[in-house]
């Protein structure tokens, strides 16, 4: 089997699995929102991971369909998606800290506000694409900032220096998502300079 066929096969199986997990998350979210199910997770967290599954599915479908797309619009779409994800991470961190962790709470809150603004800026690119390089730069700068904050936070949890109800693994997970977004943004930056 050649590489193209192997990737195609892997993508097909990933699509099947992603569809199933998206259906499961949809079901959990509906049950939680109608108070038929209780969890200590925020409903927004369930909605967040459902959107991530759908985002992944969308990418796989585009790849499998050999779809051509308008790169500038795709960059704007992905920056809107990921800036919102980063804003929500900030708010989850804010909400999982012990109430005595005032400084960390404020930092998380500030990142939440910043990324809400960046989400709006990215959304507005669909009206004015000229601002794309600026939004990419700002998004990159702030994502490096939040990645470092998340990294320190995760280390603080592991070393038991931070009071929180968050698992260190959740901290590590959001660090990895920020790292993924940084990698993507660097590619977008190369595209913007062309
Ligand atoms: Fe996430």
The rounded distance, in Å, linking the Cα atoms of 124 and 30 is 31
Is 14 exposed, middle or buried (CB count within 10 Å of its CB: 0-12, 13-18, 19+)?
A: middle
Look over the chain and give the mean of its residue pLDDT values, rounded to a whole number. 97
The rounded distance, in Å, linking the Cα atoms of 162 and 160 is 6
> The tokens of 33 are what?
């929102």
The CA 88 to ligand 1 mean position distance, Å, reads: 8
Distance (Å) of CA 123 to CA 8, 68, 176, 182, 190: 32, 21, 24, 19, 21
The rounded distance, in Å, linking the Cα atoms of 114 and 87 is 8
The CA 95 to ligand 1 mean position distance, Å, reads: 15
Structure confidence by residue, pLDDT tens digits, 3-60? 999 999 999 999 999 999 999 999 999 999 999 999 999 999 999 999 999 999 999 9
Radius of gyration of the chain (CA): 18
For residues 148-167, average pLDDT: 98
Q: What is the DSSP letter of 1?
A: -
The CA 47 to ligand 1 mean position distance, Å, reads: 10
Q: Residue 17: its pLDDT value, please?
A: 98
Distance (Å) of CA 76 to CA 26, 73, 101, 163: 26, 5, 35, 37
The CA 49 to ligand 1 mean position distance, Å, reads: 6
Structure confidence by residue, pLDDT tens digits, 71-89? 999 999 999 999 999 999 9
The CA 3 to ligand 1 mean position distance, Å, reads: 30
């Amino acid at each position: 089997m050649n590489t193209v066929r192997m990737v195609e096969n892997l993508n097909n199986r990933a699509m099947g699995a992603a569809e199933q997990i998206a259906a499961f998350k949809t079901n959990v979210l509906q049950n939680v929102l109608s108070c038929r199910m209780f969890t200590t997770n925020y409903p927004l967290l369930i909605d967040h991971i459902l959107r991530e599954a759908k985002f992944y599915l969308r990418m796989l479908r585009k790849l499998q369909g050999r779809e051509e797309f308008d790169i500038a619009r795709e960059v704007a779409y992905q920056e809107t998606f990921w800036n919102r994800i980063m804003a929500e991470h900030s708010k989850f961190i804010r909400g999982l800290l012990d109430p005595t962790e005032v400084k960390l709470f404020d930092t998380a809150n500030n990142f939440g506000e910043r990324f809400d603004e960046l989400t709006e800026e990215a959304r507005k690119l669909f009206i004015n694409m000229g601002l794309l390089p600026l939004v990419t730069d700002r998004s990159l700068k702030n994502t490096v900032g939040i990645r470092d904050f998340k990294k320190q936070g995760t280390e603080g949890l592991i070393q038991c220096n931070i009071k929180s109800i968050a698992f260190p693994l959740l901290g590590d997970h959001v660090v990895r998502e920020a790292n993924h977004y940084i990698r993507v943004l660097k590619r977008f930056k190369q595209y913007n300079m062309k």
